Amino acid sequence: MGMDSGAPAGRAGAGAGRGPARTGTGAVRPKALSPSRAGDFMQCPLLYRFRVIDKLPEKPSAAATRGTVVHAVLERLFDAPAAERTAERAKGLVPGEWERLLASRPELAELFHGEDGAHDPRLLAKWLGDAERLVERWFTLEDPTRLEPAERELYVETELESGPLLRGFIDRVDVAPSGDVRIVDYKTGKAPAPQFRSEALFQMTFYALVLWKLQGRVPRRLQLVYLGSGDVLTYDPVEAELRAVERKLRALWDAIVLATETGEWRPRPTKLCGWCDHQAVCPEFGGTPPPYPLPVVAQRDGRVPAQGAAQGRMDPV
């Protein structure tokens, strides 16, 4: 799970000493890159702008909220002695983690309101039951009584030379007696088909790059645990691949910097647009983005874009 200016609940404040630069308008100029925000820009530059610079609100998601609770349960379970890490104990942690999350984000209660706007306990009970089933499935994929993670919910950051600050949260880091490192990430959805695994592997190689920069050793294995489908995907990276990821991130950051300076954040329409919360202000749906809150500079051809630019379409790459 990645973290930056759009950090998930429960992760606010990490790395606060190196926050993004702010302008007089209150807008934020990007200074760091996480896997999730990198994915946003690759999916749609305008979506990145809405989330990182404009910070437009988005509706809470029952699926994303369930993922936050399940991750918290799997992290907290390792507080118990190995012999007590049972499926029943883990399932028993679900209601408490939900209450902890709700206390920090009261607006999430709206996820379980019926059509009349009143709280519907049946919706909450079903949602909690689904979360418990995901937690229980994990025990068919890994044996926590035989695991002693070196790190859980590890916040990492490193700055590339002449590049961005890379940062994020790693669900779990295991270290073998030999010193080999395994990065583990939990996914509450289903494993993607082989032709669609590049996005998930990009996130994991992003983390592998950061750990390599920090520790000087390429992680031995990357492991994705899909609780929705009961699959475990593994990948063993090599140094040449991480160097390629670094080049990709540098190029991506150059594109983000250029868009930030010119104010040109072009939409890239895909099938994912149907799930976007920002259709009302997206040119692809007849909307107009809010006025661009950062100052713009002339492009290489000397032209200065108009405020609120980003009306053009960016073709898929």
Which helix (H) or strand (E) segment holds residue 234: the answer is strand 231-235
Burial of 301 (0-12, 13-18, 19+ CB in 10 A): exposed
Residues 6 or more apart whose CB falls under 8 angstroms from that of 24 comprise: none
Q: Which pLDDT score, from 0 to 100, does residue 200 have?
A: 85
- pLDDT tier at 304 (50, 70, 90 boundaries)? low
Domains contained in the chain, CATH given: 62-146 (no CATH), 149-262 (3.90.320.10)
Q: Which pLDDT score, from 0 to 100, does residue 288 have?
A: 96
Using a cut of 0.75, tell me whether the model's pTM lies above it. yes
Overall average pLDDT of the 30-57 stretch: 96
Overall average pLDDT of the 147-157 stretch: 98
Q: Which pLDDT score, from 0 to 100, does residue 297 have?
A: 83
